[in-house]
Structure 1
């Protein structure tokens, strides 16, 4: 891996973990926002929102613990794949998202922008699935 990128691996880890924890907690603080983007073909939307919230908190914490980091990174990959249908539904269905902080429905750019962002997040998680190099000590 490029040495310049390698220098950012650890600091980005300490950004990634807390971001997932915060995102997961938000599933419990404002579950009604997330319920709106669960595709209607899936059962028990609220339960799925809570389940994905627990999963996000768990992977966020797991990423920060060296012993569980690789497992948590793989779990993050699985989580991102599992929630992708909600992002596709949000982009394609025209569902109006009510109750967003600041008001207003997300623009088409935001809705469609979430799809490639999932790819970036997936690659970011995959970065931590590799065994640490001896020099990393991470």
Structure 2
């Protein structure tokens, strides 16, 4: 089995690719993201631009050792904060008149995986190791 550091490097590369791509898409093609933004969010186009910048900054931060932990925490918080938009997207698309079968599958998988995305961000940032390695000292027998 690969070491924790090896898995962390793989997860970091994946998170950099995921958040970097998402950030560029938020800025280059904002309309789909504006459409899923809940109505209570003020100035949705500006918010989408800001979230794109945050995603790109987080991805870059994961690449810089001195910023890695902060970036991991920030991306985890970001994943929590955008979850209402994920829920709205699911509800909007699942109640649309014509829903492709893949949309049901996408949301059925995507929504429950949000906690995994949160964990991946803090794991990739080096904030947590659990459950891959437990750092608690072992008890010695007979004492």
TM-score band (shorter)?
0.7 to 0.9
Decide whether the 8 Å contact of 2:72 with 2:127 is kept in 1. no
**C-alpha distance in 1, partners of 2:110/2:15?**
17
Q: What does residue 82 of structure 1 align with?
A: 81
Any idea what SS the aligned residue of 1:12 has?
Answer: helix
Q: Which has the larger radius of gyration?
A: 2
What residue ranges of structure 1 are gaps of 5+ in the alignment? 97-103, 133-138
Decide whether the 8 Å contact of 1:23 with 1:53 is kept in 2. yes
Aligned residues, how many? 123
Say whether 1:52 aligns with 2:33.
Answer: no
Structural RMSD (CA): 2.3
Say whether 1:126 aligns with 2:125.
Answer: no
TM-score by length of 1: 0.78
Within a 5 Å distance, the mapping from 1:1-138 to structure 2 comes to: 4=2, 6=4, 7-94=6-93, 107-127=103-123, 128-130=125-127
TM-score by length of 2: 0.76
Cα distance per residue 1:26-77 (max 9 Å; x no partner): 0011100101100112221111111110000000000011010000000001
The structure, 1 or 2, with the larger RCO (C-alpha pairs under 8 Å, 6+ apart) is 2
Cα distance per residue 1:63-101 (max 9 Å; x no partner): 0110100000000011111110000111123475xxxxx
